[in-house]
Structure 1
Amino acid sequence: MTSEQKAIILATVPVLRENGVLLTKHFYNRMFLHNPELKNMFNMGNQKNDRQQTALALAVLAYAENIANPGVLMPVIDRIGHKHTSLDIRPEHYSIVGKHLLASIQEVLGEAATPAIIDAWTAAYNQLAQIMIGHEAGIYTQQTERTYGWTGWRPFLVKKKVVESAEITSFYLYPADGGKVAEHLPGQFISLRVFLPQLQLKQARQYSISSAPNADYYRISVKKEKGATLNTDGLISNHLHDSIKEIDQVDLTAPAGNFTLTGEVDAPVVLISGGVGLTPLMSMLHSLIEKNHAFPITWLHGCRNESVHAFKDHITSIVTENPQVKQHVFYNQLTSQEKEAGILEGYLDINKVPDLDLVADAHYFICGPTPFIQKQFNDLVAAGVNKQHIYFEEFGPQVLALN
């Protein structure tokens, strides 16, 4: 890109701040109109609740703001790259997206979209596409180089369903070809794809792996969504609960994601979860125990009540058998017996945990709903924890930028 083109991109930043979501809504509508086959690749639930449009608008804005040095966005590019490879997005898809994004800029801005602006954004998009394609090629290579690794969609069988709470059921997924699986990094997710009769579309969703790394199977633990207004968002999870039986087939991509417990963590670990956000932390906990982690492990979990507390007895047994592991649990609704047992009342609040030792060099992993992550992150920082030691996983399109 020329310096003049970069200056033009920077000049469009105020417009993107004001009208970014309007632009991305127009873009998605245009793309699905002209390329309806892509509805099989995108989460149509996130199209209805505007989360995908918002996430894309924020990403485009961040790119424009940092057009002079896009390298500073590498953590974001890495996170998006993992999402893309888990959905089997390939270089040819960038050509389709680019065509509709540039056309949308012209159509939304109208006469304000001068030839110079369109030329600058064409150069900017092509630069970003090449950065993403190159980075994703590296992730695909890593996946194939893993023992038993693969890329693309692979058929798996649901060999076991286990009810973990009133809302959460675990699904044990084994390769349909009888082969082995690549061991995931604790905290990673897989994409699962099924055909939804209601939409007459294939739809994919990303689920954290809740089992310890192994070469035989993946376990995901899925929350059943409820509510009279439930539409596309939650259909896959409910389809798994209601329609998928043991020995039914689903398609999976290889494990992906950079919210991970990698290598040897020579420090205390604090796991903080809200509701079904405990799933990737289950894998982390198992891995730490199997590796005889020599430092304290603390788990803080919050949910509505005991009936929806998945893995409750299992985690309690781990705490009982491993003196370096402690847990603190919050229920919104508390019985007198639960109070006596040491359960805390209300929403999870680190400031209400008695004798909680927030060690400066500990590693903190947070997973749960977006407001939950934001609160825990802010409370940890206020308590003096280094931001660089706080990691979080936001389910769905990424809209938080806390680090």
Structure 2
Amino acid sequence: LASIRFASPAMAKEGACPFKPSSGMGLPEAMSPTTVETVDATAGAVAPNALDITKTFYGGLIDAMPEVILQFFNPAHNVPVSDTQPKALAGSVCAYAGNIKDLSPLLVPGGAVDAINHRHCALNILPAHYPIVHDHLMAAIGKVLGAAVTPEVAAAWSEAVLFLAGVCIDKEEALYAEYEQRRGGWRGMKDFKVQAIKEAAVGIKTFTFEPVEPTDGFDFTEGQYLTIKVDPQGDNLTAPRHYTVTSAPGEKFLECTVKKIAGGKVSTYLHEQLKVGDTVQLMPPYGVFTLDTAFDSAVLLSAGIGVTPMVNFNRALGDKVKLAVHVDKTPEAFAFRSELEASLPPEKLLLKYTQVPSPPRAPRCCWGEQGGGGRPSAAALAKEVVDAAGTANLFYICGPEAWMEEMQSELLQLGAKKVMCEVFGSQLATGCPFAAAA
């Protein structure tokens, strides 16, 4: 395994452009039939060991270059604190190996690879980072699977990883270039000034950012997220965080709305220390949780801070919103409540409060005798939603991961035509980031 290296002559040249696509990097343009058959044959052996492999992979990366890894990954999501990020990668590895004979389901717009590409661009991942990933992943596979990794198996998995690297490098360069050309667009981290900070709800603030060099507006797609880089400890070792853009496309500023998380390093810093006039660094908006114009009607389902992408969805969809559903602790904890209540007629807005009585249309059977005190079951809520809106809609869901998975499952069982989910934090940790259809 040690002899299998990422061939990257372009990167070896001093001063080589870090944004150069995969051509000239020595990457395979296609996988050989032997590679496809070998990866397919060994996918079943890799799957039950995938989490051990990815935990070993991230552990090796952190040991080898902690100062680099901490600039990309939230330590709260990674080993040794958590296995959230390793689970995300393990799921991606299994999906890739399981579809190695036909990658088209993973390569569709808005699909698994597209979501990864957008996240990579949001983190400013460059072609030069891929050799590091390849080498450490191959080392982790060898360490966990041991003698089962014959030279033939190692060569096949290496070629498969390198092929996917080339696909990602080219797609990500295309995204970088496309988004740089959007109105107000840019590439890489850019300085912005904090223009305003306002309370959006209990424990939630909206931050308004203006570019140091003024622009006539920012174009992006509703539902996309900003990536913000701050340096609370002055060591440049705080990973960027992603927050949905809550300002409308076309504005001369960008906004995100952030919930303060107990123990959250960045959210706490933003809430308690960031001041108007301070400078932060932002990446352009990215993300695949966006509107699908093929559907004439939509149902918006959110819980807690998951309401943030629904704000711009509601603004863009207008009369196409069949129903908007939101679950929260109390009305005071519900960000953008006033805007949604003002823009939607009562029959299109279904609100559920877990700590106080809900509005009259909320079924008391889901909430205890006094109409409060707990979250409704996914089955009960999905049935109420389908009874009110039908199934011939696109259902957008954003909130806690377990809740999204449950709602997606229940809605599909009831005949929903298509369900799309967004995951905050470590995307791809579940199947929810991808569109699912009945």
Q: Same fold by TM (over 0.5)? A: yes
1:313 aligns with 2:338: yes
Secondary structure in 2 aligned to 1:59? helix
Residues in 1 aligned to 2:269 and 2:216: alpha-carbon distance in whole angstroms: 26
1:160 equivalent in structure 2: 196
Counting only pairs closer than 5 Å after superposition, residues 209-288 of structure 1 correspond to structure 2 as 209-226=245-262, 230=263, 234-261=264-291, 267-288=296-317
Whole-Å Cα distance in 1 between the matches of residues 203 and 265 of structure 2? 14
Deviation at 1:191? Answer: 0.7
C-alpha distance in 2, partners of 1:244/1:96? 34
Determine the structure 1 residue equivalent to 2:10.
Answer: none
Match for residue 172 of structure 2? 136
Rounded Cα–Cα distance in structure 1 between residues aligned with 2:227 and 2:101: 34
1:112: how far off?
2.6
User: 1:175: Cα distance to partner?
Assistant: 0.9
- Which one-letter code corresponds to 1:38 in the other structure? I
> 2:161 — aligned with what?
125
Q: Deviations over 1:65-94 (max 9, x none)?
A: 112222321111101111111111111111
Distance 1:316 1:243, change over 3 A: same
Q: Secondary structure at the match of 1:395?
A: coil
Verify the 8 A CA contact 1:58 1:399 in the aligned structure 2: yes
After TM superposition, list the pairs within 5 Å mapping 1:175-186 onto structure 2.
Answer: 175-186=211-222
1:347 is the counterpart of 2:375: yes
Instruction: Check whether the contact 1:274–1:369 (CA below 8 A) recurs between aligned residues.
Output: yes
Residue correspondences, number: 385
Counterpart-to-counterpart distance in 1, 2:401 and 2:181 = 34
What amino acid does structure 2 have at the position aligned with 1:8?
T
* Farther-moved stretch of structure 1 (117-126 vs 374-383): 374-383
SS in 2 for 1:271: strand
Change (3 A) 1:352 1:129: closer
Aligned in 2, Cα 1:8/1:236: closer, same or farther, shift over 3 Å? Answer: same
Identity %: 29
CA distance in 2, matches of 1:297, 1:79: 27
Q: Distance in 2 between matches of 1:72 and 1:283?
A: 28
Matched residue of 1:157: which SS?
Answer: strand
Distance 1:358 1:125, change over 3 A: same
Instruction: State TM-score, norm by structure 1.
Output: 0.89
Query: Unaligned stretches of 5+ in structure 1?
Result: none
Q: Distance in 1 between matches of 2:203 and 2:304?
A: 10
Which amino acid is 2:124 matched to? Answer: D
Provide closer, same or farther for how the CA distance between residues 356 and 174 of structure 1 changes in structure 2, counting only shifts above 3 A: farther
Task: Note if 1:203 corresponds to 2:239.
Answer: yes
Q: Which amino acid aligns with 2:400?
A: P
Corresponding letter in the other structure for 2:314: L
TM-score by length of 2: 0.82
CA distance change for structure 1 residues 112 and 216 in 2, over 3 Å: closer, same or farther?
same
Structure 1 position 394 matched with structure 2 position 430: no
Shift of 1:218: 1.4
Contact 1:86 1:253 in 2 (8 A): yes
Amino acid in structure 1 at the alignment position of 2:298: V
Deviations 1:120-144 (A, max 9, x none): 1111111110111111122112202
Contact 1:196 1:203 in 2 (8 A): no
State the one-letter code of the partner of 2:355: Q
**One-letter identity of the residue aligned with 2:231:** F
Partners of 2:71 and 2:157 lie apart in 1 by: 28
Residue 297 of structure 1 corresponds to 322
The Cα of 1:171 is off from its aligned counterpart by 0.6
Is structure 2 residue 62 aligned with structure 1 residue 32? yes
Superposed displacement of residue 297, structure 1: 3.5
Change (3 A) 1:298 1:111: same
Q: Map 1:56-71; keep pairs closer than 5 Å.
A: 56-71=89-104
Pick aligned residue for 2:407 from 376, 383, 386: 376
Contact 1:297 1:324 (8 Å CA) reproduced? no
Change (3 A) 1:328 1:18: same
Q: Could you tell me which of 85, 98, 115 is aligned with 1:79?
A: 115
Runs of 4+ more than 6 Å apart = none
- Native 8 Å contact 1:187 1:260 kept in 2: yes
Q: Check the 8 A contact 2:198/2:206 in 1, yes or no.
A: yes
Q: Which amino acid aligns with 1:310?
A: A
Is residue 328 of structure 1 aligned with residue 350 of structure 2?
yes
Given that 2:352 and 2:359 are in contact with CA atoms closer than 8 Å, whether structure 1 keeps it comes out as no
Per-residue CA distance 1:147-203 (angstroms, 9 max, x = gap): 221111111111111111112111111112233453221111011111131876132
Contact 1:31 1:100 in 2 (8 A): yes
Per the alignment, residue 208 of structure 2 pairs with 172
Could you list the runs of 5+ residues in structure 2 that have no partner in the other structure? 1-30, 368-373
